[in-house]
């Protein structure tokens, strides 16, 4: 694995300064770390979302790599076409350079309206890496709930009030959905554990075929925490096993981080405004259900690991 010193002198990532992401947004950290470790130049495809609208405000761009913006729902389809064209050109001798292909999409464009395109691309076996930066709602369009929104979280379309107390359903397990396609590599990561994220990115780039990485991306605006707390919030998600770190390589599960002491999920929930209503006495049962969800998911993962 590349060391921090080696990465610091390697050069620029595909995403540079000058973007207009929110102060404290963890997405640029994630994108820079992933693209920085690529052994070859990259072509980036990006679904409509926070990352796209804040990095490519016409006539400016914060990308130094070839960058394709497509619709909300078809990032995986677009990267499939680009990767196929590259293989065709290389076969004919029109290109000799090795290139890696990455698609970035938020949970709205991946968990929900982009799931069909992603499933098709994984099933066809295209050689690319799909990275979902999961901020657990449609943050770019007004903080509406998505399939990634966890139980109990308040959003503009499932607010905490008299009738409901945030989202009532459990979030979709997209990492396991990707793994069900039996692709070579699937991983779950967090910007708080940068060595783990870099190691998984390096491994993904070294493997031929479709790869999927689901990376937690705490959102200061939608989650409700101060701009300087994003990495700490992400760390608590890992330490409470709300967002466990693991990988699935050729069907084999491996936990890449096991907390020395698994913290109660309240340590994570209390850091964010979106969960503040859960700490009212009448809503404590929702916290108990979230803890039960986390405990079951963690036990299931431990049962699957090698």
Say if residue 265's pLDDT is above 70. yes
Report the pLDDT value the prediction gives residue 102, as an integer from 0 to 100.
98
DSSP the chain: ---HHHHHHH---SB-S---PPTT-SHHHHHHHHHHT-SS-EEEEE-SSHHHHHH--TT---B-S-EEE--TT-HHHHHHHHHHHHHHHHHTTS--S--EEEEEEESIIIIITTHHHHHHHHHHT-S-EEEEEE-SSBGGGT-B--TTPPTT---SSS-BSSS-BS--SPPP-HHHHHHTTT-SEEEEE-TTSHHHHHHHHHHHHHS-S-EEEEEE---IIIII--GGGHHHHHHHHHHTTSS--EEEETTEEEES---SS---THHHHTT-GGGGGGGSGGGHHHHHHHHHHHHHHHHHHHHHB-
Report the pLDDT value the prediction gives residue 8, as an integer from 0 to 100.
67
Report the pLDDT value the prediction gives residue 9, as an integer from 0 to 100.
64
Please say whether the beta carbons of 43 and 99 come within 8 A.
Answer: yes
pLDDT in tens, 180-226: 999 999 999 999 999 999 999 999 999 999 999 999 999 999 999 99
Nearest 10 degrees: Cα torsion 12, 15, 21, 22? -40
pTM: 0.96
pLDDT confidence of 10, banded at 50, 70, 90?
A: low
Furthest CA-CA distance within the chain: 68
Integer distance in angstroms from the first to the last C-alpha of the chain?
22
Please say whether the beta carbons of 19 and 57 come within 8 A.
Answer: no
Q: Assign residue 29 the CATH number of its domain.
A: 3.40.50.970
- Using a pLDDT cut of 70, give the percent of the chain over it: 97
Calpha distance 149→108 (Å, rounded): 10
Say if residue 243's pLDDT is above 90. yes
Please give the residue range of the domain that contains residue 250: 4-304
- Other C-beta atoms closer than 10 Å to the C-beta of 225 total 19
> Lowest-confidence range among 17-21, 184-188, 258-262?
17-21
- Other C-beta atoms closer than 10 Å to the C-beta of 272 total 20
Domain count, the chain: 1
Report the pLDDT value the prediction gives residue 247, as an integer from 0 to 100.
98
Please say whether the beta carbons of 213 and 201 come within 8 A.
Answer: yes
pLDDT confidence of 11, banded at 50, 70, 90?
A: low
pLDDT confidence of 12, banded at 50, 70, 90?
A: confident
Average pLDDT of the chain is 95
| Non-local CB neighbours of 25 within 8 Å, separated by 6+ positions | 50, 217, 219, 220, 230
Report the pLDDT value the prediction gives residue 306, as an integer from 0 to 100.
73
pLDDT in tens, 117-130: 999 999 999 999 99
Q: Which among 147, 166, 296, 272 has a CA at the least distance from the CA of 221?
A: 272
Mode of pairing for the β-strands spanning 246-249 and 252-255: antiparallel
């Amino acid at each position: 694995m590349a060391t921090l010193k080696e990465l610091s002198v390697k050069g620029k990532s595909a995403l540079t300064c000058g973007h207009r992401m929110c102060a404290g947004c963890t997405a640029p950290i994630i994108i820079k770390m992933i693209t920085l470790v690529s052994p070859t130049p990259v072509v980036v495809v990006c679904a409509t979302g926070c990352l796209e609208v804040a990095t490519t405000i016409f006539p400016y761009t914060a990308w130094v790599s070839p960058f394709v913006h497509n619709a909300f729902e078809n990032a995986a389809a677009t990267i499939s076409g680009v990767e196929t064209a590259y293989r065709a050109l290389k076969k004919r001798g029109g290109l000799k350079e090795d290139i890696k292909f990455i698609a970035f999409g938020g949970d709205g464009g991946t968990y929900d309206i982009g799931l069909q395109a992603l499933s098709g691309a994984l099933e066809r076996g295209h050689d690319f890496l799909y990275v979902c930066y999961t901020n657990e709602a449609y943050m770019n369009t007004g903080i509406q709930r998505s399939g990634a929104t966890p139980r109990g979280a308040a959003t503009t379309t499932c607010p905490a009030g008299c009738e409901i107390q945030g989202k009532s359903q459990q979030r979709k397990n997209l990492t396991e959905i990707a793994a069900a396609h039996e692709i070579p590599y699937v991983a779950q990561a967090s910007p708080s554990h940068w060595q783990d994220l870099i190691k998984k990115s390096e491994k993904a780039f070294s493997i031929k075929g479709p790869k999927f990485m689901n990376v937690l991306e705490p959102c200061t605006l939608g989650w409700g925490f101060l701009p300087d707390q994003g990495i700490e919030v992400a760390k608590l998600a890992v330490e409470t096993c709300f967002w466990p770190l693991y990988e699935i390589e050729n069907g084999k599960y491996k936990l890449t981080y096991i907390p020395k002491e698994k913290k109660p999920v309240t340590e994570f929930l209390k850091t964010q405004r979106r969960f503040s209503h859960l700490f009212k006495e009448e809503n404590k049962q929702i916290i108990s259900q979230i803890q039960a969800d986390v405990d079951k998911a963690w036990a299931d993962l431990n049962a699957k690991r090698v």
